[in-house]
Amino acid sequence: MTESQRPPLPPPPPPHIPPTSPPKNGNSKEASTGVTQPMPSQMQPMPSKASNPGVTAAQRQRTNSVPPVTEATASYSSPAKSSIELQTPLHGAGSPPGQPTLNQIIRNAHAKGFSDIHLGVGEVPRVRNRGEMELTNYPETDKLTFMSWLQEVLTDQEIRRFQEKLEFDGATQYDFARVRINIFVTLKGPALVMRLIPLKILTLEELRLPPVLKDISEAPKGLVLVTGPTGSGKSTSLAAMVDFINKNHAKHIVTIEDPIEFVHQSRKSLIKQREVGIHTLKFDNALKAALREDPDVILIGEMRTKETVNTALKAAQTGHLVMGTLHTNSAVKSIERILGLYSAEEQPAMRVAIAESLVAIISQGLCRTTDGKRAAFHDILVNTETMKDYIRDCKNDEMTQLMLTGEYDGMVTMNQSLFKLYQEGRITEETALECSPTQNEIAQMLRGRV
């Protein structure tokens, strides 16, 4: 066969270029053959693992052990944020079919007299009916429904803030009630708790509160504390006292709240309400500024920090009536709670400051009555001259004994208050025992009368 008759040879295969960085010296095979390593932008896509001869068996095993990034793995790496963002509906989309709107839930709860609404992804909505948690007939809440509910009461900016911080605290208002809102993230997903606050502020008489609260509200200066656990009616009683001042005295009232709950209208008094996060950036800054706003009465939503207590005592000592709340279960424990914010060296001076500034401490609880409603019972400490000496000298037992015998000054203990409700037939013996802070004492009182 002649050379012209031979078939042409196939072209040689292109040289394999392993996916490594360029050689640092000229001793490699590529360098000796004159092949130049291409730039990254010129590289072709790598062949599959099965056909790529440059991938060893060990490399394939390591690669196969790493799962691909999917929506499920992304959600696992950031469960709270991913679950919220992936399910956010378009603004104004409304609730999905078969689910109620948030407006319907709130209106129904208000009509039935419920105080709180609990909603959460993966849960059936519940309500608090006069202190008791109850299931509703609504279907289980999914993520899309929950986010549509947030769209009803929050702006886009507030929803973004919740997605970033994973918590939100605020309030909104309807034509029939004001609603305090708290949103948070749980293991199952986002959740929402709403407290329904009536627009009408009940009077001290309508709430059947002790008459001494009027005398306390009329104090020209000093510190008034309304204390109790969450849901004990502190805000309601404090609003009734502010409303009493508003209707009967020409004063300037400044409130600093987080958030604003009861909305007051200026009557005989001029009342200005400020909400932390909306009307002021920081609680303590607003409290200090209030001293320069010519107030007669300053209402503090909650005395949480040492700085707040210091400013409140300063205001009380300089001619203002300061009203605030604490989460304590008794009047005497309220003093201990405040002193607990200070070191042992600071406490003697603080006892003197409290003794000189305090007007009264009203510690409150709520119990279910025989007619299915709720009644307040109280622990009331009025700072008489004798009480001042006991506070200065750290005589807590004597303070309690003085409250037992201080009915003339308006003082009362929780057991005395519960026993009175029992005598009036408003609560049962079991309720009195359940709500009493010292059950042995209330049991003796009940055995002496039954």
pLDDT at 179: 93
Q: How many CB atoms lie within 10 A of CB 176?
A: 13
For residues 106 and 163, membership in a common domain is answered with: yes
**What's the predicted TM-score (pTM) here?**
0.74
Would 316 be classed as within a structural domain? yes
Beta bridge partners of 168: 183
Domain count, the chain: 2
For residues 259 and 372, membership in a common domain is answered with: yes
For residues 99 and 182, membership in a common domain is answered with: yes
Cβ contacts of residue 430 below 8 Å, gap of 6+?
Answer: none
Q: How many CB atoms lie within 10 A of CB 289?
A: 14
Angle 396-405/385-392 helices, nearest 10 degrees? 160
96-100, 266-270, 346-350, 397-401: which has the minimum mean pLDDT? 96-100
Res. 13: pLDDT tops 70: no
Would 86 be classed as within a structural domain? yes
For residues 149 and 289, membership in a common domain is answered with: no
Res. 339: pLDDT tops 90: yes
| Domain CATH for 171 | 3.30.450.90
Angle, vertex CA 164, rays to CA 160 and CA 168, nearest 5:
75
pLDDT exceeding 90 applies to what percent of the chain? 67
For residues 159 and 227, membership in a common domain is answered with: no
For residues 141 and 222, membership in a common domain is answered with: no
Would 184 be classed as within a structural domain? yes
Beta bridge partners of 272: 254
| Domain CATH for 369 | 3.40.50.300
Helix, strand, coil percentages (3-state) for the chain, rounded to 5, are 40, 20, 40
pLDDT exceeding 70 applies to what percent of the chain? 78
For residues 265 and 395, membership in a common domain is answered with: yes
- Give the amino acid at 251: K
Res. 28: pLDDT tops 90: no
321-326: strand order across its sheet: 270-275, 252-257, 297-300, 321-326, 222-227, 358-368, 374-382
pLDDT at 258: 86
190-198: strand order across its sheet: 132-135, 126-129, 116-120, 190-198, 177-185, 167-173
Closest CA to 222 of 126, 99, 359: 359
Q: How far apart are CA 171 and CA 192, in angstroms?
A: 12
What mean pLDDT is predicted for residues 376-399? Answer: 96
Q: How far apart are CA 187 and CA 342, in angstroms?
A: 37
In the chain, the N- to C-terminal Cα span, in Å, equals 131
Would 60 be classed as within a structural domain? no
Write out the residue range of the structural domain in which residue 90 sits.
76-198
Q: How far apart are CA 316 and CA 219, in angstroms?
A: 11
190-200 tens-digit pLDDT: 999 999 999 99
Cβ contacts of residue 238 below 8 Å, gap of 6+?
Answer: 226, 299, 323, 325
48-64 tens-digit pLDDT: 433 344 433 333 343 33
For residues 289 and 359, membership in a common domain is answered with: yes
394-413 tens-digit pLDDT: 999 999 999 999 999 999 99
Q: How far apart are CA 252 and CA 295, in angstroms?
A: 5
347-360 tens-digit pLDDT: 999 999 999 999 99
Would 92 be classed as within a structural domain? yes
